[in-house]
Amino acid sequence: MLIGYARTSTLEQKAGLEGQERELKAVGCERLYVEQVSSVDVVARLRLAEVLDFIREGDVLVVTKLDRLARSVQHLLEVLDKLTQKGASLRILGLGIDTATPTGKLMLTILGSIAEFERGIMLERQREGIAKAQAAGRYKGRKPTAREKTTEVHALQAVGVRPTDIAKQLGISRASVYRIMGASEAPFENELM
């Protein structure tokens, strides 16, 4: 059975998701697993976990592009290992790769390594660009919004409002509230997290 998996990172990429679904249906995928979640947030990729649980011997997991499936070479190899243990294979339409063959497995590993290398280079260039802009005084980074609410945090703390309630009321994180309060441990030890 051909089983399709489609993913986009954000809700705004609806057209991209629909395109993936069309492409997967066109090659004959009988079942589709679709989700809109970042590849980094592997815990939230419930549909990927479902497809890996469902897939059986002889099945083929089909994706349109490699980056729709795995976030790193290590993650790719973990997915491939699960598929191999179940007697299934992986097909990536955009690359013409099918891991049912030894050549397909080799090509996928090489391309995954290159993709991870490219991402590393891109992040390195981004960090260099930010450092250069900071040195020239053109890049300040994200504005520290929680620090602007220091007065309000202290005022609410003074009247006995709990840190969690302060965070909700001011629209900042609890960690920011504690940071502003100057303590890493809560003065309200019995408060539920």
Q: What is the chain's mean pLDDT, rounded?
A: 82
Q: What's the burial of 161, exposed, middle or buried (CB within 10 Å: 0-12/13-18/19+)?
A: middle
- As given in the structure block, the two tokens for residue 37 are 């979640």
Could you tell me which residue, 158 or 44, shows the higher pLDDT?
158
The whole-angstrom separation of Cα 165 and Cα 175 is 12
9 is catalytic: yes
Supply angle C-alpha 148, 193, 180, rounded to 5: 20
Q: Give the length of the chain.
A: 193
Q: Which of 9, 113, 176, 184 is catalytic?
A: 9
Point out which residues pair with 8 in neighbouring strands.
36
pTM of the predicted structure, to 2 decimals: 0.58
Q: Please give the structure tokens belonging to residue 189.
A: 């030890």
Contact 86, 57 (CB under 8 A): yes
Q: Which pLDDT band holds residue 101 (cuts at 50, 70, 90)?
A: confident
End-to-end Cα, the chain, rounded Å: 45
Dihedral in degrees, nearest 10, Cα atoms 108, 111, 113, 114:
180
5 φ, ψ (degrees, to nearest 5): -130, 125
Predicted confidence (pLDDT) per residue in 121-141, tens digit = 988 999 999 889 888 888 877
pLDDT band at residue 91, thresholds of 50, 70 and 90? very high
Q: What is the DSSP letter of 9?
A: S
